[in-house]
Structure 1
Amino acid sequence: MAIKWLSFYIPLMWSCLCSFKFNPATCLQNETDRLALISFKKAILQDRFQVLNSWNDSLHHCNWHGVSCGRRHPDRVVALNLNSQDLVGSLSPYVGNLSFLRLMNFQNNSFHGQIPQEIGRLRRLRYLILSNNSFQGNIPTNLSHCSNLKFLDLIDNRLVGNIPAELDSLRKLGALGLGRNKLTGSIPPSIGNLSSLWQIFLGENDLKGQIPEEISRLGNLENLAFTDINVTGEIPPGLFNISSISEISVDNNQLHGRLPSDIGLTLPNLRALRFSDNRFTGPIPISLSNASALKEISIQSNRFSGLVPKEFGMLQHLMYLEFAQNQLQDDLSLFNSLTNCTILTYIDLSSNFLKGTLPNSVANLSKHVQVLSLSENQLHNAIPLGIVNLPNLRFFDLSSNYLTGPVLVDFEKLGRLEYLVLENNKFTGIIPSSIRYLSFLSFVFMKFNNFNGSIPASLATCRNLIVLDLSHNSLSGSIPPEVIGLQSLSILLDLSGNGLTGPVPSEIGLLQNLAQLDLSDNRLFGIVPSTIGKCSSLELLRLQGNSFDGEIPQVLSALQGLLELDISRNNFSGGIPDSLTQLRGLKYLNLSFNQLHGMVPKRGIFLNASAVSLMGNNDLCGGITEMKLPSCLITNSKKNNLSLALKVTIPVVVAAIFFGLLVCSLIFWHRKRISRKKNISMPSFEHQFLRISYAELLKATDGFSLANIIGVGSYGSVYKGFLEQVGIEVAVKVLNLQRRGASNSFMSECQALRTIRHRNLLKLLSVCSSIDFEGYDFKALIYEFMVNGNLEKWLHGRNVGEDGQEGESGNLKLIDRLNIAIDIATAIEYLHNGSSSTIIHGDLKPSNVLLDEEMTAHIGDFGLAKIVSSISGEVHRYQSSSTAIKGSIGYVAPEYGLGDPVSKEGDVYSYAILLLEMFTGKKPIDESFKDDLNLHTFVETNLPDRVMEIVDPRIAFEDGGGSFKDCILSVMRIGVACSVEQPGERMKMRDVISELIKIRCSYLKESLNQG
């Protein structure tokens, strides 16, 4: 009561004080608006960008940030625009005193609480934009008093209750956005009274009932979005007579009925028709071809039948064609007409009744096609070779058809392909070796065909492969060590149901990131290699139906994530190892039909008889009662056998130890002799490098001209140069040997890059260790030149272009950032697990990520790298002995500050900070981070509700709906999960890659869906 009393009398008192100099009426009006703004500011709890600092007595309130005043009434506030300012707090009811206000825009902030009823007093208000906040409660009914309102946007909040019928009095309202809330009830028929309405978005609420017929009265309607609101019944027929409509979205409801046959004539301006996931029936109207502006037809998951109109080839703007999961019938001659659609990007005709052969005209489709899916139809014959004319194809799915013959496609020409799905057909011949050229390939599904021959070892060149399923074919030969050791595999390797022979290569231990491994039903033999114990991420292991022998490996106890283990139908012998009881998460264990004997344990999974199968092992005994096995008999024969074993074993062991000591002594003596002969000034390189002299580098860089400097680091400068002898541009990193640690940095980088090769690592072309023309030591590293500079300049500053000159940095779109994030993660995963030694980068940050002409990311600067021996775990250091923390502030893992040794988890932390920086646009040392606030906690405290408030504003404009927000939210969650304080709780890099690829695929599909 006291506050309300003061709010009434303070303006009055002020008017009396200033009446000696000013017009009393003007003074009172001026002070009313100023006090209303001050009350607004007091309700703000956080202002991280300090945008309200200007709201003080030193400035007239019309000059405050976000405040605009009128021309006729220069002291009255007409606009309050604080869009995307990261404000946290409630909305003060005193905004209702801004009686001249026409625009109120608080989009993309963190306002909470209820929308104040007092807004209904703003009779002049035209634009009310409160979207993407956390407002709660009901929509104020007295918004109906804002009779001049033209634009009402309350999208993406937490509003509940019914849509007020009183809103029908807003006869000037043109746009109504209430989507992405928790509204209930039905769509009020009174909406049909909003005669000026041209856009309405109610999607993603908990509404019910039918779409009211009264909506057909909205003669100016252009965009209607009722996606995912649980409405039923039919679409009012009158809606199809509103000729101004350009977009209709009613996805994910329970609507039924038929589309009018003349829909393309009555809706001539139609651009997008989205009817997916409903119950529509009948044919697809041919008249849609008359809607010449049509870009998208999305009708998947319905019951449409009949033919696909070939007239769709007349739609010059068509980009997205999604007809999956219907009952359509066609002979695919449709493709002959689709060749006229020159910007077509997405074609999904899967799960229908299409017959015939995929025509050769597929070669003439738009070069923009990224998705082509014809799975689950009745296609036959071979894949047309012309498919290689689609250079941007990323998703290619022909699964579950009747396709035959060998696959003769030259996949080298489909360099962007990520998904290759040919499973459940009748393909024959060998697996095409040209797949090895698909550097982006992530998923390969070829199961249930008749492929023969051996598994090509060249598949190992697909370094981004995370799923390889070649099961149930007629493959023969041994398993290539290169394939079973492909460390990028993280989700599935399935070679089951073939005729593979030989032992399992020991390289299986390199699958440290793999979740599911299935080698069942082949002709494999020998013992299971002990290296399988290194596959620490396995959740499913199936080896049944082979001829493995020996005892069940004890190392299986190391697979603590294992949920299912099946080694039935083999020749395993001996007892059941007690180590299997240590697998705490195991849900299913099948040991049946082997030659096991002895006592069955009574611990772990063996306490659950329904989870264990032991049949076909007739010499097992004991176990819990439910297993119904005979009791074990204890006899003296065991003692006799033990005595005999000791008599034989002890002499053998003693002899083996003596022999082992002798061999070790000889090896030690031999190495000591060799070491005396060595005199190495720098690490040797496995591959032959260019031989480049100091003079050649001097010429290539115009005498190390300042004009050619493209970067300056801790230990030297980087120059752009041109090597005439080979005709290529290079980046030359010249070490400042006067700087302490520079020589060690040089050695560390040489050692780290000695044997590793990966598409996402900066390629070292050569090194130069020489004397300059003044007699001083000179050391330099020569790299490939990256025309698009480094990531730091794209995110935060000016960027070096192809001509070497600085210019304004371009904007990285969301999809660009996703691709770069995946590239970096792939490189880190390779460093950690992709070679014989583990390499810790130690200084991962944007300035060390270089971008080539295709914006592919390459990690560079290994000056702080450390190599961990794969055998001993020893860390080889090529740095000074200083105990100071190495790395860059903000990116260094917190445990390093406590003296912990370098680790993979430290690189994961640095990657997480880089990832969050890429998507928030904030550096980890941002000035706004004070006290305990850092980039990790900043993002974590804003998830999930305020994620759109912290996204980099440069990509926020791309917001195309829920898919954009979902993508950002998923990426931010990965960044938070990888930067938690405890190293052991951080995500594994292979899981990061898998999740990011899923996010990218989902976003691409939704982006194409939105045109």
Structure 2
Amino acid sequence: MSPLLKFTYTIAVILIVFFTSPFVCLSVCPKKESEALLSLSFTFKLTDSSTPWTNETDCCEWHGIKCDENNSHVLGISVGIMEGLLIDDGIRGGVIADSLCKLPFLTRLDIWDTGATGTLSSCLGDLQYLQFLRIVNSRLSGIIPLSICMLTNLTELNLGGNQLSGSLPFCLNKLSSLSSLSLANNRLSGQIPFTWGDLALLKSLDVSFNQLSGNLPSSFVGLSSLTELYANGNRFNQSNPSWGFPSSIQTLHLSLNHELTISDTFFHNLTKLEHLSLSNCTLNISTSWIPNFQLVELELVLCQMDGQIPPWISTQFSLGSLTLANNGVAGEIPSWLWATSLSELNLSQNHLHGPLFPNVPNSVISVLDVSSNALNGCIPSLWPRIEYSPPQGFLLMLNDNMFTGNIPPNLCKLSPSVKLNLENNKLDGMIPWCLIEDGSTVDYLNLGGNSLEGRMPQGFIVSSGITSLVIRNNQLSGAFLPSFTNHTVLRILDIGYNKFTGHLPKSIGKISALQVLVMNDNQFSGEILSEIGDLKQLQILDLSSNNLSGSIPHNIVFLEAMAVAREDAYATYSELNYGGYVIRKFFSLGGLDVTSKGTKQYYPYILSTFTGIDLSNNQLNGDVPFDVGKMKGLIFLNLSMNNLSGIIPHSFGDMSQLESLDLSSNKFSGNIPSELQSLSYLGYLNLSNNNLSGNIPQGGQMITFENTSYSGNQYLQGCPLPRNCSWPKFAPPPPVSAAENKDEKESEQIPWYQIGVGWSYGAGFLIVVVLLLSVRERWRRKYFKRVDDLLKFMFPFMRNRRL
């Protein structure tokens, strides 16, 4: 080829690229698809490198959107909180709109933990290319449309964690490519359709925690690919199905259903079973039975075991996790348990006695729960060194037993991360302070309810890694002067019911993460620290029954966790585990005693919305901060048995969540603020034994309290007190206004005006008839003829009736 021709070709190629590149760049996301995405109305907290969802940018560049590289059609949506889905934890809300169906080329829809609302539109069946449909942990409502059965390319369907209701779609058997189906944690009812047995490729089925009933369909025996079946938390009453389960099942969860009767035939064909969870069942299994499977995980809760651990469990040599809680198991812990490969063992809430184990166990158990039994003897001092710690750390729960003796110091370095609960035993001696001091590997510690004694060493620095410290209800004494650092993660500190003396340690103000502070029933003196006002996350403050004096620090009203009013405070599952940690199959590490509504109450868990202050039975004086009403989220407040004076602040009426208020046995004077009538949640009120005067407000909850709530106030009057109470215990009906009274009297009078109007119309009609008859003779004759005919007709009829 000549140089000239080569040059010509080169120029042509350059011109083609130059003139066509703008058109290539114009291939962007279609407008309809962009508008459909915007209708989902998700709000993101994006990183600097993320592109927000706006009309100003191409939707193919948006956060969580995947498009076809050729024609820019939207192929995938991935939004929510889930590792691997590219989305951060800043997503908020969203609506599942019908416009979602305007994305005809969509192959993947992943929406996780967004709180998205809406319903599943029947037009979803038009998304013929959809392969993955996952809308999980949101707030979808309504029924599952039958049109979803048209998605024949679907391989995974997950609608778990929503509010879906109605029955299960019977036509899902048309989804011949489906391998994973999850409808867990909804409100679905009815039975599992028989047609689901046609899902030949189904590997995982999860319908747990719904309201399903009946039996599992016998067609399930044909699910030859099924390896995981989660049907727990329903109303199934399956008992030894004659058809048996598919032999392919490896994981079977049937807990929390109606009572199950389990015999050997129940496990027919389950040769590959590895994970089994049953509860509330009756085991009718022969003691000589040897299973034809090897379990890795076994959970049997609330099953009747006839007082012993089933011998067949000893044949499970691959067992790594065993839970036999609340089964009435008695006797000693069998020695063969310690020779297994168990890493997690839960024998809690049984009747076991004897020592924990006679010698050092051969197995390396990282989670051991034997709480709520009758085990005795000393806590073993020799433990195997655990080099590997699971994600939750080494969990040792020996609480609520009868262990005696000292706490072995070996527990201080047991594992890189230790959670230890020895509450409610008979332990004595001194606390090995290495459990708590800086450098300790213990991050949760509960030693409450024992007979431990001694003093805290001077210059003691609390471990910066400990998140829960409970040493209440012991015989500890001396000054409590630990040093807390600014970087501590301590959330719960409970040293109540001891004999600590001295002033409150100022370093408490450095515990920025503290949520529960309980120091009641000690011998602390001096003033309440103003540094407590710096604890922005504090939910529970209990300094009752000490010798504290001075006034209530004003900055206590700035505790931020107590300043947020929650209109529906208990409509949440969020909770602060008192003891700091809860994992699957295991119970909390402790509880909390709170004096609320006049009595001591025990809370094993503290909701994230539960807040309260108890400063009762001290020597506090002065006024209550006038702006105490800033703590709008406070649920209980106890300032009784002090020397507080002045008036009761009117701002109490702003504490809209208050349920319990105790100001008794003080020196308050003046009137009871009428603003207390607006406290609609107030269920307990005690203003007795003060110097209050005037009338008791008679509105709202005030009229529901007994006279004991107001007694001991010499100049207070009005119901329910006998002084100047002019009506019964319950308030009289509200007074009728003058206008209403006038209307009522008028309604009781005879309506002469209406009667007169009626007579006038009647008389006028008769006059018109008479005038017409007198003017026209022809009309007059016809009229009287009609009257005569009518009389002739009626007379025989009336005569026959008389005969």
TM-score bracket for this pair, using the shorter chain length: 0.5 to 0.7
Alpha-carbon offset, residue 472 of structure 1 = 0.6
Give the match's secondary structure for 1:536. coil
Distance in 1 (alpha carbons) for counterparts of 2:284 and 2:456: 46
Evaluate the alpha carbon distance shift between residue 92 and residue 575 of structure 1 in structure 2; reply closer, same or farther with a 3 A threshold. Answer: closer
1:596–1:619 CA contact under 8 A, matched in 2:
yes
Is it true that 1:442 corresponds to 2:491 in the alignment? yes
Is it true that 1:522 corresponds to 2:575 in the alignment? no
Question: Of residues 85, 106, 118 in structure 1, which corresponds to 2:157?
Answer: 106
Question: Of residues 612, 634, 639 in structure 2, which corresponds to 1:538?
Answer: 634
Deviates more, 1:447-456 or 1:339-348: 339-348
Distance in 2 (alpha carbons) for counterparts of 1:330 and 1:262: 26
Question: Of residues 363, 378, 385 in structure 2, which corresponds to 1:339?
Answer: 385
Evaluate the alpha carbon distance shift between residue 53 and residue 243 of structure 1 in structure 2; reply closer, same or farther with a 3 A threshold. Answer: closer
Distance in 1 (alpha carbons) for counterparts of 2:251 and 2:307: 24
2:101–2:127 CA contact under 8 A, matched in 1:
no
1:138–1:161 CA contact under 8 A, matched in 2:
yes
Alpha-carbon offset, residue 579 of structure 1 = 4.2
Is it true that 1:287 corresponds to 2:336 in the alignment? yes
**Correspondence for 1:406:** 455
Deviations 1:431-489 (A, max 9, x none): 23223456211111111111110011221111111211111101011112112x23425
Give the match's secondary structure for 1:482. helix
**Correspondence for 2:193:** 140
Distance in 2 (alpha carbons) for counterparts of 1:183 and 1:404: 51
Is it true that 1:623 corresponds to 2:729 in the alignment? no
Distance in 2 (alpha carbons) for counterparts of 1:49 and 1:375: 60
AA aligned to 1:249 is: E
Deviations 1:297-320 (A, max 9, x none): 12222333322125563223x221
AA aligned to 1:596 is: L
Evaluate the alpha carbon distance shift between residue 532 and residue 83 of structure 1 in structure 2; reply closer, same or farther with a 3 A threshold. Answer: closer
Alpha-carbon offset, residue 268 of structure 1 = 0.9
Distance in 2 (alpha carbons) for counterparts of 1:533 and 1:104: 56
**Which consecutive unaligned segments of at least 5 residues does structure 1 have?**
1-43, 56-63, 68-79, 633-1011
**Correspondence for 1:250:** 300
Q: What does residue range 672-751 of structure 1 map to in structure 2 within 5 Å?
A: none
Q: What does residue range 118-197 of structure 1 map to in structure 2 within 5 Å?
A: 128-132=179-183, 137-144=190-197, 151=203, 153-156=205-208, 158=210, 160-164=212-216, 166-167=218-219, 169-170=221-222, 172=224, 175-180=227-232, 182-190=234-242, 192=244, 194-197=246-249
Alpha-carbon offset, residue 406 of structure 1 = 1.6
Question: Of residues 347, 355, 366 in structure 2, which corresponds to 1:307?
Answer: 355
2:261–2:283 CA contact under 8 A, matched in 1:
yes
Of structures 1 and 2, the one with the larger relative CO (CA 8 A, separation 6+) is 1
Distance in 1 (alpha carbons) for counterparts of 2:178 and 2:648: 72
Distance in 2 (alpha carbons) for counterparts of 1:390 and 1:498: 32
AA aligned to 1:550 is: G
**Correspondence for 1:203:** 255
AA aligned to 2:718 is: G
**Correspondence for 1:372:** 420
1:222–1:247 CA contact under 8 A, matched in 2:
no
Distance in 1 (alpha carbons) for counterparts of 2:286 and 2:455: 51
Deviations 1:686-735 (A, max 9, x none): xxxxxxxxxxxxxxxxxxxxxxxxxxxxxxxxxxxxxxxxxxxxxxxxxx
AA aligned to 1:337 is: W
Evaluate the alpha carbon distance shift between residue 203 and residue 528 of structure 1 in structure 2; reply closer, same or farther with a 3 A threshold. Answer: same
Alpha-carbon offset, residue 414 of structure 1 = 2.3
Distance in 2 (alpha carbons) for counterparts of 1:218 and 1:390: 53
Give the match's secondary structure for 1:314. coil
AA aligned to 1:538 is: L
1:494–1:519 CA contact under 8 A, matched in 2:
yes
Evaluate the alpha carbon distance shift between residue 599 and residue 287 of structure 1 in structure 2; reply closer, same or farther with a 3 A threshold. Answer: same
Q: What does residue range 227-626 of structure 1 map to in structure 2 within 5 Å?
A: 227-228=278-279, 230-233=280-283, 237=287, 241-242=291-292, 244-251=294-301, 253-260=302-309, 265-292=314-341, 294-311=342-359, 313-316=361-364, 318-333=365-380, 335-340=381-386, 342-343=388-389, 345-369=394-418, 371-387=419-435, 388=437, 391-408=440-457, 412=461, 414-437=463-486, 439-483=488-532, 485-511=533-559, 513-514=561-562, 515-610=611-706, 613-620=709-716, 622-624=717-719, 626=720
**Correspondence for 2:773:** none
Distance in 2 (alpha carbons) for counterparts of 1:142 and 1:116: 10
Distance in 1 (alpha carbons) for counterparts of 2:487 and 2:413: 22
Evaluate the alpha carbon distance shift between residue 415 and residue 116 of structure 1 in structure 2; reply closer, same or farther with a 3 A threshold. Answer: same
Distance in 2 (alpha carbons) for counterparts of 1:130 and 1:304: 41
**Correspondence for 1:15:** none
Distance in 1 (alpha carbons) for counterparts of 2:638 and 2:711: 17
Q: What does residue range 774-789 of structure 1 map to in structure 2 within 5 Å?
A: none
AA aligned to 1:348 is: M
Deviations 1:409-432 (A, max 9, x none): 987462222211111111111223
Coordinate RMSD, CA, aligned: 3.9
TM-score, normalised on structure 1?
0.49
Alpha-carbon offset, residue 548 of structure 1 = 2.0
Distance in 1 (alpha carbons) for counterparts of 2:237 and 2:702: 53
1:138–1:159 CA contact under 8 A, matched in 2:
no
User: What is the number of equivalent residue pairs in this alignment?
Assistant: 551
AA aligned to 2:451 is: Y
Give the match's secondary structure for 1:361. helix
Evaluate the alpha carbon distance shift between residue 377 and residue 557 of structure 1 in structure 2; reply closer, same or farther with a 3 A threshold. Answer: same
Evaluate the alpha carbon distance shift between residue 235 and residue 452 of structure 1 in structure 2; reply closer, same or farther with a 3 A threshold. Answer: farther
Give the match's secondary structure for 2:258. coil
Q: What does residue range 63-74 of structure 1 map to in structure 2 within 5 Å?
A: none
Evaluate the alpha carbon distance shift between residue 81 and residue 159 of structure 1 in structure 2; reply closer, same or farther with a 3 A threshold. Answer: farther
Distance in 2 (alpha carbons) for counterparts of 1:606 and 1:159: 42
Alpha-carbon offset, residue 49 of structure 1 = 10
1:367–1:390 CA contact under 8 A, matched in 2:
no
Evaluate the alpha carbon distance shift between residue 430 and residue 48 of structure 1 in structure 2; reply closer, same or farther with a 3 A threshold. Answer: farther
Q: What does residue range 205-220 of structure 1 map to in structure 2 within 5 Å?
A: 206-218=257-269, 220=271
Deviations 1:732-774 (A, max 9, x none): xxxxxxxxxxxxxxxxxxxxxxxxxxxxxxxxxxxxxxxxxxx
2:663–2:687 CA contact under 8 A, matched in 1:
yes
Distance in 1 (alpha carbons) for counterparts of 2:101 and 2:494: 49
Give the match's secondary structure for 1:530. coil
Alpha-carbon offset, residue 390 of structure 1 = 6.7
1:165–1:188 CA contact under 8 A, matched in 2:
no
2:688–2:712 CA contact under 8 A, matched in 1:
yes
Evaluate the alpha carbon distance shift between residue 182 and residue 618 of structure 1 in structure 2; reply closer, same or farther with a 3 A threshold. Answer: same
Alpha-carbon offset, residue 113 of structure 1 = 7.2
Distance in 1 (alpha carbons) for counterparts of 2:623 and 2:166: 66
Evaluate the alpha carbon distance shift between residue 187 and residue 437 of structure 1 in structure 2; reply closer, same or farther with a 3 A threshold. Answer: farther
1:191–1:214 CA contact under 8 A, matched in 2:
no
Alpha-carbon offset, residue 499 of structure 1 = 0.6
AA aligned to 1:616 is: G
Evaluate the alpha carbon distance shift between residue 216 and residue 245 of structure 1 in structure 2; reply closer, same or farther with a 3 A threshold. Answer: same
Evaluate the alpha carbon distance shift between residue 391 and residue 190 of structure 1 in structure 2; reply closer, same or farther with a 3 A threshold. Answer: farther
**Correspondence for 1:848:** none
AA aligned to 2:215 is: I
AA aligned to 1:220 is: T
Distance in 2 (alpha carbons) for counterparts of 1:85 and 1:474: 56
